[in-house]
């Protein structure tokens, strides 16, 4: 004779007992908790490094302005043979450009613009 399959939850004991169901439920709950923790770590906001980024941007703006001004002045002096004059003038112009850029970055930081972006045109104070 053909044997009938035992169905889960049938009276003849074919299904899992309460202990097995409790263990499975506990494992599933543990997996869900682990997934929630992993998702919370992934969704957590990144560490705010805005001040460090702002300091490095100030430094790079200053160094770049002075360096570019000095190199342009040195190139002009080399080409014309007027050794220190153009280099001094362009170093001062580079310094002025660096200060202007640093003021622009400071205004953007005060306005709450993210560190990697500049202020939109027209948002700068005309008084300063």
- Higher-confidence residue of 26 and 123: namely 26
Categorize the per-residue pLDDT at 60 as very low, low, confident or very high, splitting at 50, 70 and 90.
very high
Report the Cα 71 to chain-centroid distance in Å: 32
Q: CB under 8 Å to 69, separation ≥6 — which residues?
A: 90, 91, 92, 93, 94, 95, 97, 98
Tracing tokens 């009938």 back to the chain, one arrives at 4
- Residue 99 or 13, more confident: 99
pLDDT at residue 92 greater than cutoff 90: yes
Residue 91, token pair as written in the block:
């170093």
| Cα 31 from Cα 50, distance rounded (Å) | 36
């Amino acid at each position: 004779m053909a044997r009938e399959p035992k169905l889960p939850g049938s009276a003849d004991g074919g299904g899992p007992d309460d202990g097995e169901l409790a263990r499975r439920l506990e494992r599933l709950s543990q997996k869900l908790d682990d997934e929630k923790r992993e998702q919370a770590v992934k969704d957590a906001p990144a560490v705010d490094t805005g001040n460090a980024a702002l300091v490095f941007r100030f430094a790079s703006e200053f160094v770049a302005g002075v360096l570019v001004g000095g190199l342009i002045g040195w190139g002009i002096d080399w080409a014309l043979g007027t050794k220190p004059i153009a280099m001094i003038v362009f170093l001062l112009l580079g310094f002025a450009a660096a200060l202007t850029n640093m003021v622009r970055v400071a205004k953007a930081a005060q306005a709450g613009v993210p560190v990697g972006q500049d202020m939109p045109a027209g948002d700068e104070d005309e008084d300063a």
